[in-house]
A and B are shown apart, each in its own frame.
With several copies, the nearest count.
Chain A
């Protein structure tokens, strides 16, 4: 049991902190979910990338610093503690990039990753369809074989970032004749401005277009944009979403910073007794999440793979995030109703936590069945 970072990692922390101190905007950027804010966040990605801080865990040749898992956690702690902006490149960096590292070709990596690192190309995800939410295997959008590539037809929805993003990745049914619905799906990338793509932004609760519907009418995708083998998309995507639920979706640094801000807010309001327990519990939960992650990272470094324990992770952080923001709004009293504060924006964002990346009900089923060995019931 050793919670001390190596001197080299501490030196890295110092470099990150110094850079962030010098560069993090003094006033918050406009909301990421507005056209203006999207552009400002894209510029911030470029600023990060210019000094190789945008994708620290990637190999140097793609713009990273070859940072290992622990160093990445250190970076994230510093990043969020510094109050730095949300990451507009998150979908690509957190979901597509790990898939490319695992299943992509060298050509794909060399072509796709560098502009992702600089924010030049921002990626949206295109998983869900109107009839396939939690039940992702029910996907119906088609990829039909054609000369040198595929033609996409169908309807995707809840495509986060797609209102302003450049490209998207997702699963399409390339073989409709398979025995099981998980088979015959292909993982591919496409251009959101290609002929045949219609993007209809959807406003979330506060009206901001945080996601979009995608109507795909005979959209051509060249073979070079298929990831892995055609028909193997489900397996490839599952390894990505396992990452999504696991370590890399929500770094502990984020909640440590939010909990510290909550305590600050509480003190600024005169430390009211009614929120005392909830503020303490947020601080404790953020610390627990940090330590849980360090334990998981240590196991990964020992060669273990993260399995269904990621489902506990997902339930824990999404409930922490919501509780933390609800407490903040309560502390703000009548002002908590205002839509234009940072806490309100964080609150609206946190409301989605228990829903996306696998609802918390699905996660609890996984914990019960795969970690506790309870019988698979009809859900």
Chain B
């Protein structure tokens, strides 16, 4: 029992954070939102070089994985910088394609960042399907390699998320694919990303309320402001151990609980951030909006709150889920 990141994991987070800070992600996000993917692809390569996608890919296919804890560490940083693109989906693709012979065919390019991938949610959208050449569609008959339906992508409330549709059919890659396991990894990555988004929103808002003056004092000295931020901090800090617990056990119910909790905490923090920034926070041109809108979008991606709660109630969260005597109560 040692439930802490080790120094290597912390150093990995710090390195990613430094790299992403230098990359000026807001500018990258804005061009990605306009459908100009060049800068995003370049950033993608650097993230891959740092080994992020390889964490979901076994060594024999060019990765270093599977390392779910390190993956969660990395995705917190990706969320903190609001990196655009089908990040969690690429992780999901690595799991879907994890068995030979597909693994040999696809994984090396996926781990190296050469080939970002997306996964079409059953009945839903293929995130950023217009930006990738590898679009997987899980279907009852098996796993398809799809093309994206031509036509304009749908606008998301998060302008950096481009909602495409995959065309039905395509190349049938496998009759059976580990969709449930892939979903667990996608949710884990999404939870981590949401936590990072929430942490960034909190940081920016704390900075804002210390600077912004109204009625002659920083608004951060008003108790109502302080308490909202204290609640946001508490929600995020209790989501964090759920995330790393889920990364450690990879049990689907734990991952669902982490996904729900991190997304709720991030969304509540977004509401607080918006409110405490006032009108400026409500504008698209202020960078805060890039995180605000992502917090909302992640909440319903890959498992709405209700779905996550169902899994918790059905499967339970503890392996040793002691059932107390009913008659004692």
Contact = CB atoms under 8 A, between A and B. Distances in A.
- The reply to whether A and B meet directly (CB within 8 Å) is yes
A323 B279 CA distance: 20
- Select the residue from A131, A261, A342 with max chain B CB neighbours within 10 A: A261
A56 interface: no
B286 to A, nearest CB: 9
B133 interface: no
Interface string B245-279: 10111000010010011000000000000110011
A153 to B, nearest CB: 22
A338 interface: yes
B279 A157 contact: yes
Contacts of B121: 334
A157 B285 CA distance: 14
A302 interface: yes
Interface string B279-306: 1001111000100110011001100111
Contacts of B289: 205
Nearest to B6: A1
A83 B4 contact: no
A202 B279 CA distance: 11
Interface string A131-143: 1011100100000
Given A158-B279, A205-B293, A337-B297, A374 B229 contact: yes
Contacts, number: 275
A26 B325 CA distance: 9
Contacts of A6: 1
A280 B155 CA distance: 31
A330 B306 CA distance: 9
Contact of A206 (B233, B284, B304): B284
Interface string B211-245: 00111011011111111011101100111111011
A287 B163 CA distance: 35
Given A333-B300, A337-B300, A205 B282 contact: yes
Given A3-B3, A83-B324, A283-B317, A339 B227 contact: no
Contacts of A256: 318
A277 interface: yes
Interface stretch (A38-46, A161-169, A215-223, A308-316): A308-316
A379 B223 contact: yes
Contact of B301 (A315, A334, A361): A334
Contact of A374 (B158, B226, B242): B226
Contacts of A257: 322, 324
A257 B305 CA distance: 24
A305 interface: no
A378 interface: yes
Contacts of A342: 328-329
Contacts of B247: 1
Contact of B241 (A268, A295, A352, A365): A295
Nearest to A333: B304
A258 to B, nearest CB: 9
A157 B280 CA distance: 10
B233 A298 contact: no
B233 A371 contact: yes
B313 A276 contact: yes
Contact of B2 (A2, A138, A280, A365): A2
Contacts of A316: 234, 238
Contact of A205 (B214, B292, B323): B292
B285 A203 contact: yes
B63 interface: no
Contacts of B248: 1-3
Contacts of B318: 256, 287
Nearest to A348: B157
Contacts of A309: 237
Contacts of B242: 284, 287-288, 291
- Select the residue from B121, B124, B222 with max chain A CB neighbours within 10 A: B222
Contacts of A204: 282-284
Given A1-B248, A3-B1, A343 B305 contact: no
Contact of A263 (B221, B275, B313): B313
Contacts of B229: 368, 372, 374
Interface in B300-316: 300-301, 304-306, 309-310, 312-313, 316
A356 B279 contact: yes
Nearest to A328: B329
Contacts of B325: 83
A377 interface: yes
B150 to A, nearest CB: 18
A294 B240 CA distance: 12
Interface of B: 1-6, 9, 69, 121, 124-125, 154-159, 161, 163, 202, 206, 209-210, 213-215, 217-218, 220-227, 229-231, 233-234, 237-242, 244-245, 247-249, 254, 257, 260-261, 274-275, 278-279, 282-285, 289, 292-293, 296-297, 300-301, 304-306, 309-310, 312-313, 316-318, 321-326, 328-329
- Leading 5 A-B pairs by shortest Cβ distance: A291-B241, A368-B226, A377-B221, A280-B309, A367-B230
22 contacts: A2-B2, A81-B322, A131-B213, A134-B278, A138-B214, A157-B279, A274-B305, A284-B242, A287-B245, A287-B254, A288-B239, A292-B241, A295-B241, A312-B233, A334-B300, A337-B156, A338-B155, A361-B224, A368-B229, A372-B226, A374-B220, A378-B221
